[in-house]
Amino acid sequence: MTNFYGDYKALRDLLFLRNIQNRNFCLLGVSPISKYVVTAVLNAATNLKAPIIFIASLNQINVDGGYTGWTPKQFSEYINNYMKNLHENNTLIFLQLDHGGPWLRDEHLLKNLSYEEAVDDFLKSLNEFIKAGFSLIHIDTTIDLNKPDRNAEPDVAAYRTVELIEYSEDMAKQHGVDIGYEIGSDRWGYKSPEIIDKFIELTMSRLKSRGINIEKIVFGVADVGTEVVPYNKANLLIISTFSKIMQKHNIYLKIHSGDYLTHLEYLILENVGGINVGPMFAHTMYSTFKRIIFENLEKELANELITKLNTIIASADRLRKYLIDINKVEEYKLGLASRYIWSKNELEIFLNDVNKHLGFDIRNHLVKSLEEEVYRYFIRLGLHRII
């Protein structure tokens, strides 16, 4: 790996030194939902000398390519090659597997896998992520399909978390690498501070008893009320409470579903370690596409092209929750749903056709709009000129 990839120790150093150097910031994790998003993030991070965490879910990137078409190795190589072509080394990149665990891949649910079967499939994927250089693994065991509410009990979640971290450590040793972890999940639903504290305490004590270095646990996740909707708001009191609980255990709060989130500056004040965003950037691409074609083409043709794009979005089976009636769907939901199609060959062919009508490549405008959005997050999170 080239030297712009960071490991969990570098991540911990960043978070520790921010207070010593009086440079408060909150790290940004971005879902690699398409090559356009990845390109924009790398450009912005390099120009601002900002660190970045790419958070890849099992549905996005996997041994079968996921919905992006990337395997873990291909994704790592894509970033490596892109950075080499930039002839720059002004950033620090962390690769993370997000929501790693049983029943967190759509295929697990479609096949109605048992816990043991889901774990076995996850471990096969995990091995490939570790081999590809992913240095941070989110172990999420908070779902339990054998429970009526689908939520694992804290002691069960802690036990399974430790088991999967132990598996991960064995794999890492086989590949001669050192990895860190994120634990907990917002998918658990809101849990009281007492339950979150208990979960972390149980996890840490059991890791210690098995001889695993608890310094490897960098982030802890809890539900702070965020959801991926415009004007997304978190419960600021809960953020403060959970951040203090995490710090008590020498880890940092990571907030998920940070798309569209207001009060970003508050995260810095409360020493939040990181925030994850992703689907929002698909909405950015969708809105940019719509704006560009209506600004440059006749209304009838523009409407025809939008209808074609919407049809491509609606053709993805997983989008039915958004598209019961495509004529009544709010634009932001179409935008969010579009994250599954920006890597499809059908979409690339469609964009080539759109470019013929426009007389220029709309892809450049997509990347430019994404860069502007990423810049805003970097600046508001205090991440410029950290490296």
**Per-residue model confidence as pLDDT tens digits over 13-33:** 999 887 666 678 999 999 999
The four Cα atoms 110, 112, 115, 118 give a dihedral, to 10 degrees, of -30
Structural domain total, the chain: 2
Say if 116 falls within a structural domain: yes
Shared domain check, 158 and 82:
yes
Shared domain check, 127 and 58:
yes
Shared domain check, 230 and 302:
no
Shared domain check, 327 and 259:
no
Shared domain check, 240 and 138:
yes
Q: Mind listing the pLDDT tens digit for each residue in 296-336?
A: 999 999 999 999 999 899 887 555 555 555 566 789 999 99
Shared domain check, 72 and 105:
yes
Say if 1 falls within a structural domain: no
Shared domain check, 194 and 49:
yes
Say if 18 falls within a structural domain: yes
Q: Among positive and negative, which fits the CA dihedral 134, 161, 203, 55?
A: positive
Shared domain check, 242 and 209:
yes
- In whole angstroms, how far apart are CA 164 and each of 126, 218, 271, 354? 10, 16, 28, 47
Residue 216's domain spans which residues? 8-278+370-380
Shared domain check, 104 and 14:
yes
pTM of the model: 0.95
Say if 3 falls within a structural domain: no
Distance CA 242, CA 196 (A): 8
Shared domain check, 139 and 34:
yes
Shared domain check, 119 and 164:
yes
The residues, any chain, with a CB within 8 Å of residue 86's CB and separated by 6 or more, are 42, 43, 46
pLDDT confidence of residue 308: 95
pLDDT confidence of residue 321: 53
Shared domain check, 329 and 181:
no
Q: Mind listing the pLDDT tens digit for each residue in 192-209?
A: 999 999 999 999 999 999
Say if 300 falls within a structural domain: yes
